[in-house]
């Protein structure tokens, strides 16, 4: 159901007319126990103390060899952090906790079927499993430091086990969201040059055991067509000892992990000590072109950043039961289900299923049973739960001290439901703005230090020095009420190192717009541009207004319009395709698709179905459009450019503005008639 709000070229319109809200303040109980109550941290992390201030973050980790240089800018904007240092991420997330916490749950797995028991994996048990998987990857699959391993798995504990096993070997994992298609996975295998794919036979979603392994066959085929051979496919079983896919393993290529790992019973693998700047993982994300880019994160900088932000912003202590209801296949899950919480010896909950299955009380039953006290989710989920079960939270006896929202702007009235109903008025909320590229939170309130303001992400994180620029690079002052392009003046340890295999794209995507001198090795010349518009209130709080590029944020997931359009063009009848964002009450935005056909073809339901199928096959179900409209022609400028702005206005039921200068203004009424009836 779409809300009739404007959604133009940028998402700015949805947020500018939100009122500035009054502050909410955390309870004295929360403040009394908070990890960060020292206001002077902002001074310690001022630009005067840059970059040495980041030592405070790095010192939360165990280093095999301490570093000598905090920041090396000689290849700016590809920076090196904590140079000279050596460490291992799996050691920091597992081994170092064995002394004090070996019998404490590291992970608690909650399967979707409610009659399946939960599984608590202690740090000792995690240590054993990570070692055995590392031994298998190394000895059986030939994985060594620097190799890439693609992992296409659902939300099961074997996923972090596999990631940490890669990290133990110094190998670079590339996790592909389980809901992505085999084709999307194959393109990522190819781009990263992975020789090994780790997958699972099946998983539960909305009450059904979904077959997953067949996607691996497609992925391997797609990668092979692009010249990259995945030599081994390693398949975890959803039910150990039982194969739950109807697609048989391919002889000589596919191996059941649960069988092979028996050979590695009791094996231990020394964690490989890697340089701080060794890549830890790749995470592919959408941008303005059709090809997703491999965001590369380094070991020392990334781990220090996620550990510190988990500690200070999420207020994680080792005794907390922390539940982030995101998918590990996205950056939120990497940073705030796996690396940050485990580096802090917390208990991190992994939930396989859908929050509203079998009903909207499920999350609160889980919270009650596990006594979760820190909760983390996205506005889209909050909206969904509010719609499906507004009174459910009150029926369950759980108490959160802290809640996070992430991934999209949260409407003030949704924030208030989250605060009063989900949080029962007891929990501090942080609205965290960040992205795949930033590695961790870059804007948020520090929960015990600053009040919460519904609809605002808050000020910048400590050590993040923001600025809003207009199109010409002039600074826009706080409190002016004028929106502009959000930038960060300085580098920080959690930021991406580069785009895998494409330094040029790294520079052009994030820096070219406001770079002062392309040859400079001074970080001051390289403001980072995340691609979002924002407005800063007089109190210094930022409201994020959304993307200014061709990215649509669907339910907190980034989709490139070009990617979706490319998929549509694979349908043989389709001549042109245009994708526009439509406001959606629950998902924030959903794509609407307009296609025109090649001469000689007539509009039909089967073509619409083929378009839907092409999107499922090439990207995944998450990119499914709300509608596919077959139009006789696209509204175009005289130079032939498709006017997506006009289509977007039609989809959202708003004013199309002046269309008289179009090459074919008559098409506008025709399209409007088709869409709005
Ligand atoms: C894009 C990044 C953040 C991890 C999950 C998504 C939007 C993110 C917020 C927020 C308003 C937000 C931005 C950003 N976004 N957080 N708190 N308020 N917008 O990571 O897939 O890389 O997407 O999500 O547009 O650029 P991602």
- DSSP secondary structure, 605-633, as one string: HHHHHHHHHHHHHHTBGGG--SEEEEESS
What value does the mean pLDDT take over residues 7-19?
51
Question: pLDDT band at residue 16, thresholds of 50, 70 and 90?
Answer: low
Tokens 């708003």, residue? Answer: 654
Strand order in the sheet with 321-324: 119-122, 105-110, 347-351, 321-324, 374-377, 402-406, 428-432
β partners of residue 592: 580, 627
Weakest-pLDDT range from 10-14, 137-141, 297-301:
10-14
Query: Is 457 near ligand 1, meaning CB less than 6 Å away?
Result: yes
Output the six-digit token pair for 387: 């719609």
Q: What is the rounded CA–CA span in Å between residue 339 and residue 34?
A: 20
The closest-lying atom of ligand 1 relative to the alpha carbon of residue 531 is 26
Q: What is the dihedral of CA 649, 652, 655, 659, to 10 degrees?
A: 20
Q: What is the rounded CA–CA span in Å between residue 179 and residue 1?
A: 23
- pLDDT of amino acid 9: 36
Nearest CA to ligand 1 atom 24: 407
Query: Is 515 near ligand 1, meaning CB less than 6 Å away?
Result: no
What value does the mean pLDDT take over residues 101-110?
98
pLDDT digits (tens, 9 = 90+) for 28-58: 999 999 999 999 999 999 999 999 999 999 9
**How many other C-beta atoms can be found within 10 angstroms of the C-beta atom of residue 47?**
12
pLDDT digits (tens, 9 = 90+) for 141-196: 999 999 999 999 999 999 999 999 999 999 999 999 999 999 999 999 999 999 99
Tokens 């220090």, residue? Answer: 304
- pLDDT of amino acid 657: 85
Question: pLDDT band at residue 17, thresholds of 50, 70 and 90?
Answer: low
Evaluate if residue 76 carries a pLDDT over 70: yes
Question: pLDDT band at residue 558, thresholds of 50, 70 and 90?
Answer: confident
Closest by CA to 574, choosing from 548, 539, 611, 538, is 611
Query: Is 411 near ligand 1, meaning CB less than 6 Å away?
Result: no
Backbone φ and ψ of 179, nearest 5°: -80, -10
What value does the mean pLDDT take over residues 310-332?
97
Share of the chain above pLDDT 90, in %: 87
**How many other C-beta atoms can be found within 10 angstroms of the C-beta atom of residue 631?**
19
Query: Is 332 near ligand 1, meaning CB less than 6 Å away?
Result: yes
- pLDDT of amino acid 289: 73
- pLDDT of amino acid 7: 34
What value does the mean pLDDT take over residues 370-374?
98
Measured in Å, residue 420 CA sits from the centre of ligand 1 at 24
Measured in Å, residue 267 CA sits from the centre of ligand 1 at 40
DSSP summary character for residue 460: B
Backbone φ and ψ of 592, nearest 5°: -110, 145
- pLDDT of amino acid 555: 82
Q: What is the rounded CA–CA span in Å between residue 626 and residue 591?
A: 6
ω into residue 664 within 30 of 0, thus cis?
Answer: no
Q: How far is CA 645 from the centre of its chain?
A: 27
- Asked whether the CA dihedral 562, 435, 402, 409 is positive or negative, the reply is negative
Q: Which is higher by pLDDT, 516 or 444? A: 444
Measured in Å, residue 407 CA sits from the centre of ligand 1 at 4
Evaluate if residue 11 carries a pLDDT over 70: no
Measured in Å, residue 24 CA sits from the centre of ligand 1 at 23
Residues in the chain: 677
Share of the chain above pLDDT 70, in %: 97
C-beta separation of 204 from 210 below 8 A: yes
Measured in Å, residue 435 CA sits from the centre of ligand 1 at 5
C-beta separation of 221 from 250 below 8 A: no
Measured in Å, residue 327 CA sits from the centre of ligand 1 at 14
Q: What is the rounded CA–CA span in Å between residue 322 and residue 453?
A: 23
Question: pLDDT band at residue 560, thresholds of 50, 70 and 90?
Answer: confident
Tokens 């056909």, residue? Answer: 597
What value does the mean pLDDT take over residues 631-640?
88
Q: What is the rounded CA–CA span in Å between residue 651 and residue 672?
A: 8
DSSP output for 223-271: HHHTT----EEEEE-SBTTB---SSPPPTTTEEEHHHHGGGGTT---PP
Measured in Å, residue 15 CA sits from the centre of ligand 1 at 14
Query: Is 559 near ligand 1, meaning CB less than 6 Å away?
Result: no
Q: Which is higher by pLDDT, 638 or 26? A: 26
**How many other C-beta atoms can be found within 10 angstroms of the C-beta atom of residue 403?**
22
Q: Residue by residue, what is the 3-state secondary structure of 489-506?
A: CCCCCCCCCEECCCHHHH
Nearest CA to ligand 1 atom 20: 435
Evaluate if residue 490 carries a pLDDT over 60: yes
Average pLDDT, the chain: 94
Query: Is 531 near ligand 1, meaning CB less than 6 Å away?
Result: yes
C-beta separation of 23 from 452 below 8 A: yes
Output the six-digit token pair for 19: 């009122």
Half-sphere exposure of 162 (CA within 13 A, CB side): 30
What value does the mean pLDDT take over residues 386-412?
95
What value does the mean pLDDT take over residues 209-227?
98
Measured in Å, residue 436 CA sits from the centre of ligand 1 at 8
Measured in Å, residue 457 CA sits from the centre of ligand 1 at 11
Query: Is 542 near ligand 1, meaning CB less than 6 Å away?
Result: no
Tokens 């980072």, residue? Answer: 528
Query: Is 356 near ligand 1, meaning CB less than 6 Å away?
Result: no
Nearest CA to ligand 1 atom 4: 435
Nearest CA to ligand 1 atom 21: 558
Q: What is the rounded CA–CA span in Å between residue 591 and residue 605?
A: 18
Measured in Å, residue 316 CA sits from the centre of ligand 1 at 22
C-beta separation of 469 from 514 below 8 A: yes
Weakest-pLDDT range from 219-228, 351-360, 392-401, 554-563:
554-563
Query: Is 584 near ligand 1, meaning CB less than 6 Å away?
Result: no
Evaluate if residue 4 carries a pLDDT over 50: no
Weakest-pLDDT range from 64-78, 296-310, 463-477, 651-665:
651-665
The closest-lying atom of ligand 1 relative to the alpha carbon of residue 556 is 6
- pLDDT of amino acid 288: 73
- pLDDT of amino acid 3: 33
- pLDDT of amino acid 14: 46
Output the six-digit token pair for 490: 């300085």
């Amino acid at each position: 159901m779409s809300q009739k709000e404007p959604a133009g070229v940028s998402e700015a319109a949805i947020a500018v007319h939100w009122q500035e809200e009054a502050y909410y303040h955390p309870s004295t109980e929360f403040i009394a126990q908070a990890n960060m109550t020292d206001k002077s941290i902002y001074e310690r992390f001022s630009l005067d103390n840059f970059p040495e201030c980041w030592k405070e973050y790095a010192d939360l980790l165990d280093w095999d060899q301490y570093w000598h240089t905090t920041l090396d800018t000689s290849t700016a904007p590809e920076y090196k952090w904590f140079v000279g240092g050596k460490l291992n991420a799996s050691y920091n997330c597992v081994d170092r906790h064995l002394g004090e916490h070996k019998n404490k749950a590291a992970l608690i797995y909650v399967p979707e079927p409610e009659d399946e028991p939960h599984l608590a994996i202690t740090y000792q048990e995690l240590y054993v499993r990570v070692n055995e998987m590392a031994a298998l990857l190394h000895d059986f699959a030939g994985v060594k430091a620097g190799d890439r391993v693609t992992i296409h798995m659902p939300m099961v504990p074997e996923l972090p086990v596999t990631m940490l096993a890669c990290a133990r070997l110094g190998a670079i994992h590339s996790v592909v969201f389980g809901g992505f298609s085999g084709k999307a996975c194959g393109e990522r295998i190819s781009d990263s040059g992975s020789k090994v794919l780790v997958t699972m036979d099946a998983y539960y979603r909305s009450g059904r055991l979904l077959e997953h392994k067949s996607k691996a066959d497609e992925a391997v085929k797609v990668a092979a067509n692009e010249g990259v051979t995945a030599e081994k496919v390693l398949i975890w079983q959803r039910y150990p000892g039982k194969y739950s896919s109807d697609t048989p393993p391919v002889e000589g290529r596919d191996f059941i992990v649960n069988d092979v790992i028996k050979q590695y019973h009791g094996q231990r693998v020394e964690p490989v000590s890697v340089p701080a700047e060794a890549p830890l993982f790749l995470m592919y994300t959408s941008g303005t072109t059709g090809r997703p880019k491999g965001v590369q994160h380094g070991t020392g900088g990334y781990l220090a950043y996620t550990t510190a932000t988990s500690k200070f912003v999420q207020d994680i202590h080792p005794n907390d039961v922390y539940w982030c209801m995101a998918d590990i296949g996205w950056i939120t899950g990497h940073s705030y289900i796996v690396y940050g919480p485990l580096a802090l010896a917390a208990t991190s909950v992994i939930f396989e299923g859908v929050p509203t299955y079998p009903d909207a009380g499920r999350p609160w039953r889980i919270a009650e049973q596990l006594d979760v006290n820190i909760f983390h989710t996205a506005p889209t989920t909050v909206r969904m739960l509010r719609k499906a079960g507004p009174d459910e939270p009150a029926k369950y006896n759980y108490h959160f001290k802290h809640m996070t929202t992430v991934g999209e702007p949260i409407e003030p009235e949704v924030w208030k439901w989250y605060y009063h109903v989900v949080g029962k008025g007891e929990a501090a909320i942080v609205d965290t703005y960040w992205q795949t590229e930033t590695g961790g939170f870059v804007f948020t309130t520090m929960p015990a230090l600053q009040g919460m303001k519904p609809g605002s992400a808050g000020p910048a994180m400590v050590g993040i020095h923001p600025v809003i620029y207009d199109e010409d690079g002039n600074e826009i002052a706080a409190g002016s009420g004028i929106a502009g392009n959000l930038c960060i003046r300085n580098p920080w340890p959690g930021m991406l190192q580069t785009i895998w295999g494409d330094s040029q794209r790294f520079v052009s995507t994030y820096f070219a717009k406001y770079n002062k001198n392309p040859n400079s090795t001074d970080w001051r010349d390289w403001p980072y541009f995340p691609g979002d518009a924002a407005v800063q209130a007089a109190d210094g709080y930022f409201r994020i207004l959304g993307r200014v590029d061709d990215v649509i944020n669907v339910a907190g997931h980034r989709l490139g319009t070009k990617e979706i359009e490319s998929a549509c063009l694979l349908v043989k009848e389709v001549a042109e395709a245009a994708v526009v964002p439509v406001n959606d009450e629950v998902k924030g935005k959903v794509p609407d698709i307009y296609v025109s056909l090649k001469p000689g073809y007539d509009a039909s339901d089967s073509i619409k179905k083929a378009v839907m199928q092409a999107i499922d096959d090439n990207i995944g179900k998450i990119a499914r459009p709300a509608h596919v409209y077959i139009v006789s022609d696209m509204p175009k400028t005289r130079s032939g450019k498709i006017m997506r702005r006009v289509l977007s206005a039609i989809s959202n039921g708003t004013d199309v503005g002046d269309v008289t200068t179009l090459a074919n203004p008559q098409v506008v009424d025709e399209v409007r008639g088709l869409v709005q009836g």
